[in-house]
């Protein structure tokens, strides 16, 4: 497997940070470049002023992404960041296609039951639709033990 470009979707959760740590490690081994992606989800409602909502969300996202970018660049990696608006799974797949990504590494929240039914799984949809392999990581629960 020749991995030259890794996409890491970031939602600022501890699960995404776990995926970033994994991606940094793999990028170092493959001497690959990283693209960090944040998708600003636009709610389907007329009660939200979309331009001010997007501006506020984008400002916060840029600050967070700069922190992650510096963290990865500190390990000697080439890193770029992308912030888009839309539906997370669709935008992740689209960025993977347009940027010719070799691997997507993303975290999952590990929702189950009714929450999974109502919210779906971004990771699950990306796995089904991505144009490249997808590695899904999950932060260890505090009550889990290692074997």
Q: For the chain, give every domain's residue range.
A: 5-137
CB 48 within 8 A of CB 85: no
Q: What is the pLDDT of residues 72-113, one digit of tens each?
A: 999 999 999 999 988 999 999 999 999 999 999 999 875 554
Average predicted confidence (pLDDT) for the chain = 86
- Residue 111, class by beta-carbon neighbours within 10 Å (0-12 exposed, 13-18 middle, 19+ buried)? middle
Q: What is the pLDDT of residues 32-60, one digit of tens each?
A: 999 999 999 876 665 666 777 778 888 99
Partners of residue 37 on adjacent β-strands: 9, 82
CB 37 within 8 A of CB 82: yes
Chain centroid to CA 60: how far? 16
Task: Determine which helix (DSSP H) or strand (DSSP E) holds 6, and give its type and residue range.
Answer: strand 5-9
Query: String of b and e for 53-70 (b: at least 16 CB within 10 Å)?
Result: ebeebbeebeebbeebbe
Q: Into which CATH architecture does domain 5-137 fall?
A: 3-Layer(aba) Sandwich (3.40)
With cut-offs at 50, 70 and 90, classify the pLDDT of residue 8: very high
**Distance between CA atoms of residues 90 and 130, nearest Å:** 9
CB 35 within 8 A of CB 82: yes
């Amino acid at each position: 497997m020749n991995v030259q470009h890794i996409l890491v979707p970031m939602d600022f959760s501890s699960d995404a940070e776990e995926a970033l740590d994994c991606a940094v490690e793999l990028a170092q081994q493959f001497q690959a470049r990283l693209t960090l992606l944040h998708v600003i989800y636009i709610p389907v409602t007329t009660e939200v002023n979309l331009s001010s909502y997007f501006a506020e969300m984008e400002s916060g996202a840029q600050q967070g992404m700069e922190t992650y970018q510096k963290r990865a660049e500190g390990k000697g990696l080439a890193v770029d960041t992308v912030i888009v608006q839309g539906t997370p799974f669709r935008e992740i797949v689209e960025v993977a296609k347009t940027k010719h990504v070799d691997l997507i590494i993303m975290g999952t929240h590990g929702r189950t039951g009714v929450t999974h039914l109502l919210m779906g799984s971004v990771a699950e949809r990306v796995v089904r639709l991505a144009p490249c392999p997808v590695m899904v990581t999950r932060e260890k629960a505090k009550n889990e033990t290692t074997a």
